[in-house]
Amino acid sequence: MKKIIALTLILTINFLGFSQEDEETTRSNVQEFTPSKLLNKGQWDIKFFNSLYTQTKSTGEGTGESFDIDRQNFFTNTTEVYTGVSNDSRINVGLIVQVRANNYGGQSAFSVFDFDNNGTDSRSGFTTIAPSIRVQPFASVPNFSITSSLYLPIFKDEAVSAYLDKRSTFWETKFFYDKTFGGGDWQIFTEADFGFNFGESSTDAIESGEAVNIGERFANNSLFLPVSAFLSYFPSAKSTLFVNAQQAFLIDLGNEFEQNYTQLGFGGKYQLTQTLNLEASYGKIVRGNNFQGLGNTFSLGVRALF
């Protein structure tokens, strides 16, 4: 598992090796290929996105009141691969794979990159795989698209106390729309998600005697509804700076557990070559309810379009 970051760097070097720096054009990949825009037939989009979330505060049961906790760290590597399959560039298919590493008990934020599995306060591994499809439903609205993915948990149910990931079959559908204005210097991007968490509830798992890590079933039988907005400014054709906000709700559909939170953030993207883009961002959960962590997220992404 320690090879995940090294692999990302190796692939970055390889992409740089076969990609030549092109002259700056009026509209780069950074500007053109938002999540709203689909790929042409035969075109490929590969993205490695690494996110470290660390928290030292959480909210109480059924409240928004915060209190201090020992530091907890959650690293997620998400690899997305999509390709265009339709002549009219309105259907893409893809696959998403996630690797996670978490630790607890006041360890430093960077210690999560040890990818330990000690059965007590550290856990890591491949967690989910998701077939995915993107469609552009209206030919007259090319900047509106829908992505639907089915996340399947692939990690074992183990008798350990450390949480790794949700033990849910998660069906997520995302709606994307963007609008460029101000002579092309500004762009507003919006996203609305509808995610259904299927699976055995905590109560049913206890009664059946099948569950050994009940905490991973907290979201089963629930609806996840995040709404996000990004405001981007393009200092040049190959770079963008953005600020973003997100409001998310986890709605109970039978597991007797609900949450919600508000997150604010900022970041930037830069096109290194005609193929390769880099992205870095920061997010802060500024409020929440019912065992919601109030932490910080640091993200770094590498994207190749060819």
Cβ density class 178-203: b for 16+ within 10 Å, e for less: bebeeeeeebebebebebbbebbbbb
Q: What is the mean pLDDT of the chain?
A: 89
Residue 138, helix vs strand vs coil: coil
Tell me the pTM. Answer: 0.89
What is the per-residue pLDDT across 166-209, written as a single tens digit (0 to 9) for each?
A: 989 999 999 999 999 999 999 999 999 999 999 876 666 666 66
pLDDT score of 255 more than 90: no
How do 122-135 and 91-103 pair as beta strands? Answer: antiparallel
Question: Closest Cα partner for 102 from 76, 139, 61, 74?
Answer: 74
Of all residues in the chain, the percent with pLDDT exceeding 90 is 75
Alpha-carbon distance values, 77 to 27, 34, 128, 243, 294 (Å)? 29, 20, 11, 22, 21
pLDDT score of 287 more than 50: yes
Distance CA 159, CA 168 (A): 17
pLDDT band at 217 (very low <50, low <70, confident <90, very high): confident
What is the per-residue pLDDT across 76-103, written as a single tens digit (0 to 9) for each?
A: 999 999 999 999 999 999 999 999 999 9
Select the more confidently predicted residue: 9 or 181. 181
Domain boundaries, the chain: 3-305
Per-residue pLDDT at 200: 74
pLDDT band at 9 (very low <50, low <70, confident <90, very high): very low
Per-residue pLDDT at 150: 98
DSSP state of 160: -
Q: Per-residue pLDDT averaged across 262-281, rounded?
A: 96
**CATH superfamily to which 3-305 belongs:** monomeric porin ompg (2.40.160.40)
Alpha-carbon distance values, 5 to 44, 113, 305 (Å)? 22, 9, 20
φ and ψ at residue 176, rounded to 5 degrees: -115, 140
pLDDT band at 286 (very low <50, low <70, confident <90, very high): very high
Per-residue pLDDT at 1: 52
Which stretches does DSSP call E strand in the chain?
44-59, 66-84, 91-103, 122-135, 144-153, 169-181, 186-198, 222-236, 239-252, 259-271, 276-289, 296-305
pLDDT band at 129 (very low <50, low <70, confident <90, very high): very high
pLDDT score of 29 more than 90: no
Task: Count how many Cα atoms sit within 13 Å of the Cα of residue 276 in the half-sphere of its side chain.
Answer: 18
Per-residue pLDDT at 102: 97
What is the per-residue pLDDT across 41-77, written as a single tens digit (0 to 9) for each?
A: 999 999 999 999 999 999 999 999 999 999 999 999 9
Distance CA 49, CA 280 (A): 9
How do 186-198 and 169-181 pair as beta strands? Answer: antiparallel
Residue 200, helix vs strand vs coil: coil
Per-residue pLDDT at 14: 46
pLDDT score of 245 more than 70: yes
pLDDT score of 20 more than 60: no
Per-residue pLDDT at 2: 53
Copy the structure tokens of residue 292: 């919601």
Per-residue pLDDT at 22: 42
Select the more confidently predicted residue: 21 or 164. 164
Distance CA 26, CA 112 (A): 41
Contact criterion met (CB below 8 Å) for 284 and 296: yes
Residue 158, helix vs strand vs coil: coil
Copy the structure tokens of residue 20: 């030549």
Contact criterion met (CB below 8 Å) for 289 and 260: yes
Copy the structure tokens of residue 28: 């780069």
Copy the structure tokens of residue 52: 């470290």
Q: Per-residue pLDDT averaged across 215-241, rounded?
A: 94
Contact criterion met (CB below 8 Å) for 131 and 92: no
Is residue 86 within a helix (H) or strand (E), and if so which, with residue range?
Answer: none
